[in-house]
Amino acid sequence: MITRYALIAAMVLSGGAAWAESHASESEVDAPQVAELTAEDVDMDAAGKIFQRSCRGCHGNKAQGAASYPKLSDKEPQYLADMLARYRDGERIGPNSILMIQNAKDLSDEDITNLSV
Partner 1 sequence: MAAAQSGMNTTSLQAEAVLEGLENPWDMALLDDGTMQFTEKCKGLSVRMPDGTVNALYGVGETEGYPANGSDLFCEGQAGMMGVAFDPDFADNRRIYVYSTSNMSDPHTNRLMRFTLNEDFTEVSDRTDIVDDVPYKMEASDHPFGGPGAHNGGRVRFGPDGALWLTTGDNHNEEIPQSPTMMGSKVLRMDTDGNAHPDNNPPEGFDQRTYTYGHRNVQGLAFHPETGAAITAEHGPWHSDEITVLENGGNAGWDPRDNMAGRGDCPDGYCGYMPNQNEGMNRYERASFMPMTDFETYPDAMPPVWENNGWSQGTSSAAFLEGEQWGDWENAMVVGIMGIGFGGTPIGQRIDVIEFTEDGTEVLDVTEMTLPMEPGRFRSVVLGPEGSLYTAIDEGTIYKLTPGGS
Per-residue binder mask for partner 1 (CB under 8 A), 70-99, x = binder = ------------------------xxx-xx
Q: Which of 31, 44, 58, 104 binds partner 1 (CB under 8 A)?
A: 58
Contact (CB, 8 A) for 117 and 8: no
Size of the site for partner 1 (CB under 8 A): 21
When asked if residue 61 is in the footprint of partner 1 (CB under 8 A), the reply is yes
Any contact of residue 53 with partner 1 (CB under 8 A)? yes
Task: Give backbone dihedrals phi and psi of 66, rounded to 5 degrees, phi first.
Answer: -160, 150
What φ, ψ does residue 77 adopt, rounded to 5°? Answer: -55, -40
* Residue 40 beta carbon to partner 1: minimum distance, rounded to whole angstroms: 26
- As measured in angstroms, the least distance from the Cβ of 63 to partner 1 is 10
Q: Classify burial at 82, counting beta carbons within 10 Å of its beta carbon; exposed 0-12, middle 13-18, buried 19 or more.
A: buried
Give the torsion sign (CA, 10, 16, 20, 26): negative
Instruction: Give the CA radius of gyration of the chain.
Output: 13
Residues 78 and 33: beta-carbon distance below 8 Å:
yes
Quick one: which segment of 26-34, 47-55, 77-85, 108-116 binds partner 1 (CB under 8 A)?
47-55
Applying CB under 8 A, the residues found at the interface with partner 1 are 53-58, 60-62, 64, 66-68, 94-96, 98-99, 101-103
